[in-house]
């Protein structure tokens, strides 16, 4: 007998991810890795977390160690509602659900909206973890044209021809993983128009939104929709936030802001799936956020902003002709486009072998398997000398003939 | 437009749970609640957790607050493997996956095995949270006859007639929620035979297994299968454990032990769904488990054992003729069967209204909506005087004519 014959059909879409395999490379001695898109542990507010856990366990241990409500810790939901109001997104705690990181929000949103054969519109490229989360619900993907218009009718006809409907468009509008690019206000308004035409949802992944190093913040898509409609419960945009890139990813605390109809259904789903996110972590992160969120985010932005500058500067000096890259205003990533015919995965194999250097080849971010001549560089965990040395090695590799 | 038109078909199976609504009743002033199946917060090892978080954040803050591997914290997985060996279930850390409570394990196992229309065999009654988790994957349920034989061919034929296969049988063999009953060794062997005949999986929910107050432990189903086959990777039983009933539910740490094929697929699934369970909580619970697991479980068993005794004693004195109940050897629950024609949900409404008393009506534990004349009492959070007063009120209610 084979255990696998008992697996559901959806498992055919669940394969080992390149991110996962690549994270293992970070342990290689001496490797210069620009692969993992993770925050720098040196920047975590460690003393503040130590104090917060000590206080929570001194003042309310019975509550911190006990089961709690699925919606999440109310003081934290209220704090988040206050933060949302500061970015144009006035809402009540009843519009906020706490999730175990924004990755869990993506899983639950796929589960909430996608029946097999439905269509999800995503960028080419897009966050590969979103594709991983959605794959479990067996959607069809179509390419979301973010900066150009494509008639709604074309999306609709293609979805119906495949036997489903367009259920949502997904994007990370600020300093996206993997490109680092930001969608301007006009682009966001166009996407809202498209969603209206398609009568579908908009999933706004705001994981990196707080990490802006220059330029003027663009209102969240949900804020623009709220300005149009005046009522959050009439909005089709679902906003996914996270503390992972600002305070700590190890606590697994993120949130969703959406219309009550959506929140209520997500609460039912989360209750059935894991009851609630860890009580103690919600209480601790609430204290740390109250104590130092703005000051800590300023510190993180200063550090990552300097690393971005160092990377853009080093790229300018070391990349050969024919290589282009994005100029992100925030986040953790720069996206490189290599000359046609240069394959990012082949290049990675050579980089590891010849240069002890790592990055993420771009194909895994493309739902259609294209993007072979692209790659993602992360600067969040690299200091200036490492960036200089890494880009020098990458430039040399791109100049060297393949053996 | 209606946002709900974008919902997936699976949401039709996701409804508000009675457990959830009932947990809200625990806040009513003065209510005597035997409803929630939660541990007593007074028993949590608070000092040990305070020390563990302080140590983790002093010794390895960068690790505790950072992303970590999907499989879980290796020292914790090794500790669990050691515990499993003590109950006849020798395994390596590679057979252990950390989940966010055993509820998440049930969700992932439903996701792993069930395609819409497949059959899950469950007891009538069974844990309602398992039904909630599985519902999202749109199975058909058939009644698992736990203590009597029903030919495998009957299960198979019914599943095929419904257009699917029997993918697993699910049960909690020790002090089950909601009945408190335990399946004896011969019963477990019969269920393994049935699973062999059906070539399906066995999901063994061991959430309460450590909480035995009398009698001799029965080997886990997975231990019996391992004894038959000699190789965990050949076993079809998936064991789900949890720290929620022993150390703390608020940290959301549980685990799965299974064949490598199953663990590897679950790891892919969990990575796509929430990356990993909270790093800091895995590190803290590992320290607490190392420091005091056996001693603390002894303390919890002594406390709950005395409460079970008080409840069985009070039931004996206060229940009118025609009411019968289980005599659990462990766990948190006693299951009452009322005279035919007495409806548990009606009785709850009267209990709250007339007696400020709460319990869980039995119907919600039945996949077919039967069990109207049953109810579940939990004794885990009640001291002896509360149990005495509560059973007295319940007896009076059952003797009083309906108005």
A333-337 sheet: strands from edge to edge: A324-325, A333-337, A374-378, A360-361
Is pLDDT at B166 greater than 70 in this prediction? yes
Q: What percent of chain B has pLDDT over 70?
A: 97
Convert the pLDDT of each residue in A378-398 to its tens digit.
Answer: 999 999 999 999 999 999 999
DSSP 8-state symbol, B233: G
Phi, psi of A357, deg, nearest 5: -130, 140
Chain B nearest CA to A323, separation (Å): 32
Chain A nearest CA to B340, separation (Å): 31
Convert the pLDDT of each residue in A59-79 to its tens digit.
Answer: 999 999 999 999 999 999 999
Is pLDDT at B19 greater than 60 in this prediction? no
B23 part of a folded domain: yes
3-state secondary structure of B321: coil
Q: Kindly list the residues from chain A whose CB atom is less than 8 angstroms away from the CB atom of residue B263.
A: none
The separation between CA B87 and the C-alpha centre of its own chain, rounded to angstroms, equals 19
Mean predicted lDDT score pLDDT of chain A: 95
B214 part of a folded domain: yes
Chain B touched by A126 (CB under 8 Å) = no
Chain A touched by B114 (CB under 8 Å) = yes
Does residue A64 sit in the same domain as residue A197?
A: yes
pLDDT of residue B254: 98
pLDDT of residue A36: 85
β-bridge partners, A257: A96, A239
DSSP 8-state symbol, B116: T
CA-nearest residue to A1 within chain B is B199
Which CATH number does the domain housing residue B203 bear? Answer: 3.40.640.10
Domain count, chain B: 2
Of B246, B267, B292, which marks where a domain is finished?
Answer: B292
Please state, in angstroms and as integers, the Cα–Cα distance from residue B154 to each residue in B144, B151, B161, following that order.
Answer: 11, 5, 11
Chain B touched by A400 (CB under 8 Å) = no
Convert the pLDDT of each residue in A168-218 to its tens digit.
Answer: 999 999 999 999 999 999 999 999 999 999 999 999 999 999 999 999 999
Chain A nearest CA to B55, separation (Å): 9
- Helix, strand, coil percent values for chain A (each to nearest 5): 50, 15, 40
The separation between CA A90 and the C-alpha centre of its own chain, rounded to angstroms, equals 23
Does residue A12 sit in the same domain as residue A137?
A: no
Does residue B38 sit in the same domain as residue B84?
A: no
B165 part of a folded domain: yes
Which helix (H) or strand (E) element contains residue B335? strand B333-337
Chain B nearest CA to A363, separation (Å): 18
Of A264, A292, A320, which marks where a domain is finished?
Answer: A292
Q: Which parts of B28-146 are beta strand (E)?
A: 32-33, 96-99, 119-122, 140-143
Whole-number Å distance between alpha carbons of A377 and A397:
15
pLDDT of residue A402: 66
Which CATH number does the domain housing residue B28 bear? Answer: 3.90.1150.10
Is pLDDT at B18 greater than 60 in this prediction? no
A1 part of a folded domain: no
Q: Kindly list the residues from chain A whose CB atom is less than 8 angstroms away from the CB atom of residue B262.
A: 3
Q: What percent of chain A has pLDDT over 90?
A: 90
DSSP 8-state symbol, B338: P
Q: Which of residues 293-352 of B touch A (CB under 8 A)?
A: none
| Residue B243 neighbours by CB under 8 Å, 6+ apart | B249, B251, B253, B254, B285, B289
Is pLDDT at B1 greater than 70 in this prediction? no
Q: Is B389 exposed, middle or buried (0-12, 13-18, 19+ CB in 10 A)?
A: middle
Does residue A191 sit in the same domain as residue A285?
A: yes
Do residues B141 and B120 lie in contact, with contact meaning Cβ atoms separated by under 8 Å? yes
Mean pLDDT of A146-163: 94
B4 part of a folded domain: no
Count of beta carbons in the 10 Å neighbourhood of residue B83: 18
Whole-number Å distance between alpha carbons of A125 and A118:
20
B2 part of a folded domain: no
Chain B nearest CA to A325, separation (Å): 28
Count of beta carbons in the 10 Å neighbourhood of residue A79: 19
Of B292, B313, B329, which marks where a domain is finished?
Answer: B292
Output the six-digit token pair for B370.
């039967």
Chain B touched by A393 (CB under 8 Å) = no
Taking CB atoms and an 8 Å limit, are A273 and B3 in contact across chains?
no
Phi, psi of A20, deg, nearest 5: -60, -50
Q: Kindly list the residues from chain A whose CB atom is less than 8 angstroms away from the CB atom of residue B53.
A: 53-54, 57
Interface test with B, best of A4, A6, A106, A193 (most B CBs within 10 A): A6
The residue to which tokens 């308004």 are assigned: A189
Considering only the beta carbons, identify the residue of A10, A113, A271 that sits closest to B8: A113
Task: Find, among B115, B120, B131, the residue nearest to B15 by Cα.
Answer: B131
CA-nearest residue to A109 within chain B is B7
Output the six-digit token pair for B51.
């020390």
Does residue A353 sit in the same domain as residue A221?
A: no
For the entire predicted model, the pTM comes to 0.96
Output the six-digit token pair for A66.
């006990």
Considering only the beta carbons, identify the residue of A114, A278, A280 that sits closest to B8: A114
Q: Which of residues 190-219 of B touch A (CB under 8 A)?
A: 199-201
Task: Find, among B270, B222, B249, B246, the residue nearest to B109 by Cα.
Answer: B270
Does residue A367 sit in the same domain as residue A227?
A: no
Q: Which of residues 264-283 of B touch A (CB under 8 A)?
A: 265, 268-269, 271-281
Alpha carbon distance, N-terminus to C-terminus of chain B: 46
Does residue A331 sit in the same domain as residue A392?
A: yes
Considering only the beta carbons, identify the residue of B6, B10, B252 that sits closest to A277: B252
Q: Kindly list the residues from chain A whose CB atom is less than 8 angstroms away from the CB atom of residue B135.
A: 272
Whole-number Å distance between alpha carbons of B171 and B123:
7
Q: Kindly list the residues from chain B whose CB atom is less than 8 angstroms away from the CB atom of residue A201.
A: 3, 6
pLDDT of residue B368: 95
Chain B nearest CA to A208, separation (Å): 16
Interface test with B, best of A131, A200, A275 (most B CBs within 10 A): A275
Chain A nearest CA to B299, separation (Å): 17
Pairing of strands B374-378, A140-143: unpaired
Taking CB atoms and an 8 Å limit, are A53 and B58 in contact across chains?
no
CA quadruple A215, A221, A223, A227: dihedral, nearest 10: 110
B324 part of a folded domain: yes
Whole-number Å distance between alpha carbons of A275 and B282:
18
Whole-number Å distance between alpha carbons of A243 and A282:
11
Q: What percent of chain B has pLDDT over 90?
A: 90
The separation between CA B286 and the C-alpha centre of its own chain, rounded to angstroms, equals 22
Does residue B196 sit in the same domain as residue B259?
A: yes
Whole-number Å distance between alpha carbons of B248 and B41:
8
Does residue B55 sit in the same domain as residue B39?
A: no
Chain A touched by B260 (CB under 8 Å) = no
Does residue B209 sit in the same domain as residue B63?
A: yes
DSSP 8-state symbol, B368: T
Count of CA atoms in the C-beta half-sphere (13 A) of B137: 28
Sign of CA pseudo-dihedral A323, A326, A327, A332: negative
Do residues A122 and A144 lie in contact, with contact meaning Cβ atoms separated by under 8 Å? yes
Task: Find, among B28, B77, B16, B24, the residue nearest to B289 by Cα.
Answer: B77
Pairing of strands A201-205, A166-171: parallel
Phi, psi of B32, deg, nearest 5: -95, 100
Check residues B29 and B153 and name the one with the higher pLDDT.
B153
Does residue B205 sit in the same domain as residue B343?
A: no
Instruction: Please state which of the ranges B32-41, B53-62, B224-233 shows the lowest mean pLDDT.
Output: B32-41
| Residue A186 neighbours by CB under 8 Å, 6+ apart | none
Mean predicted lDDT score pLDDT of chain B: 95
Is pLDDT at A403 greater than 60 in this prediction? no
pLDDT of residue A15: 76
Whole-number Å distance between alpha carbons of A128 and A364:
6
Chain B touched by A14 (CB under 8 Å) = yes
Output the six-digit token pair for A62.
């019975």
B115 part of a folded domain: yes
Whole-number Å distance between alpha carbons of B72 and B59:
19
Q: Kindly list the residues from chain A whose CB atom is less than 8 angstroms away from the CB atom of residue B273.
A: 103-104, 107, 133, 136
Q: Kindly list the residues from chain B whose CB atom is less than 8 angstroms away from the CB atom of residue A66.
A: 38-39, 41, 44, 248-250
Output the six-digit token pair for A192.
């809202």
Q: Is A25 exposed, middle or buried (0-12, 13-18, 19+ CB in 10 A)?
A: middle
Chain B nearest CA to A356, separation (Å): 22
Instruction: Please state which of the ranges A21-25, B95-99, B146-150, B327-331 shows the lowest mean pLDDT.
Output: A21-25
CA-nearest residue to A36 within chain B is B67
Taking CB atoms and an 8 Å limit, are A201 and B6 in contact across chains?
yes
Q: Kindly list the residues from chain B whose CB atom is less than 8 angstroms away from the CB atom of residue A16.
A: 268
Is pLDDT at B403 greater than 60 in this prediction? no
What is the extent of the structural domain holding B351?
9-44+295-399
Q: What is the ipTM of this complex?
A: 0.96
Convert the pLDDT of each residue in A102-125 to its tens digit.
Answer: 999 999 999 999 999 999 999 999
Convert the pLDDT of each residue in A84-104 to its tens digit.
Answer: 999 999 999 999 999 999 999
Pairing of strands B32-33, B254-257: unpaired
Convert the pLDDT of each residue in A308-366 to its tens digit.
Answer: 999 999 999 999 999 999 999 999 999 999 999 999 999 998 999 899 999 999 999 99
Q: Is A361 exposed, middle or buried (0-12, 13-18, 19+ CB in 10 A)?
A: buried
3-state secondary structure of B379: coil
3-state secondary structure of A249: coil
Is pLDDT at A401 greater than 90 in this prediction? no
Does residue A112 sit in the same domain as residue A131?
A: yes
Taking CB atoms and an 8 Å limit, are A113 and B6 in contact across chains?
yes
Whole-number Å distance between alpha carbons of B18 and B345:
10
Is pLDDT at B245 greater than 90 in this prediction? yes
Task: Find, among B154, B150, B315, B130, the residue nearest to B204 by Cα.
Answer: B130
DSSP 8-state symbol, B330: B
């Amino acid at each position: 007998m084979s255990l696998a014959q008992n697996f559901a059909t959806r498992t055919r879409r669940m394969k080992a991810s390149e991110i996962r395999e690549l994270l293992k490379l970070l342990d290689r001695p001496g490797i210069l890795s620009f692969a993992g898109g993770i925050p720098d542990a040196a920047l975590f507010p460690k003393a503040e977390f130590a104090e917060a856990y000590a206080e929570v366990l001194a003042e309310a241990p019975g509550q911190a160690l006990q089961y709690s409500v699925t919606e999440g810790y109310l003081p934290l939901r209220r704090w988040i509602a206050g933060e949302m109001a500061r970015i144009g997104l006035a809402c009540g705690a009843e519009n906020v659900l706490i999730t175990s990181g924004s990755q869990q929000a993506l899983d639950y949103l796929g589960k909430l909206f996608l029946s097999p054969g439905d269509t999800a519109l995503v960028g080419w490229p897009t966050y590969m973890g979103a594709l991983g989360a959605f794959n479990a619900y067996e959607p069809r993907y179509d390419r979301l044209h973010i900066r150009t218009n494509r008639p709604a009718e074309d999306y609709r006809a293609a979805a119906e021809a495949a036997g489903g409907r367009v259920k949502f468009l997904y994007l990370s509008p600020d300093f996206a993983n993997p490109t680092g690019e930001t969608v301007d206000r006009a682009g966001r308004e166009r996407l809202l128009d498209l969603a209206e035409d398609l009568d579908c949802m908009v999933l706004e992944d705001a994981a990196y939104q707080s990490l802006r190093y220059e330029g003027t913040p663009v209102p969240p898509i949900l804020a623009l929709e709220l300005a149009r409609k005046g009522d959050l419960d009439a909005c089709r945009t679902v906003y996914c936030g996270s503390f992972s890139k600002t305070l700590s990813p190890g606590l697994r605390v993120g949130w969703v802001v959406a219309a009550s109809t959506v929140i209520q259904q997500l609460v039912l789903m989360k209750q059935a799936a894991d009851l609630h996110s860890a009580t103690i972590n919600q209480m601790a992160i609430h204290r740390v956020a109250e104590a130092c969120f703005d000051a800590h985010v300023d510190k993180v932005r200063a550090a990552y902003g300097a690393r971005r500058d160092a990377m853009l500067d080093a790229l300018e000096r070391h990349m050969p002709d024919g290589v282009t890259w994005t100029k992100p205003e925030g986040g953790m990533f720069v996206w490189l486009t290599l000359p046609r015919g240069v394959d990012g995965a082949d290049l990675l194999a050579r980089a590891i072998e010849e240069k002890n250097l790592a990055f993420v080849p771009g194909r895994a971010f493309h739902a259609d398997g294209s993007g072979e001549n692209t790659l993602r560089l992360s600067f969040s965990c690299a200091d200036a000398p490492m960036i200089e040395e890494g880009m020098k090695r990458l430039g040399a590799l791109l100049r060297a003939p393949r053996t």
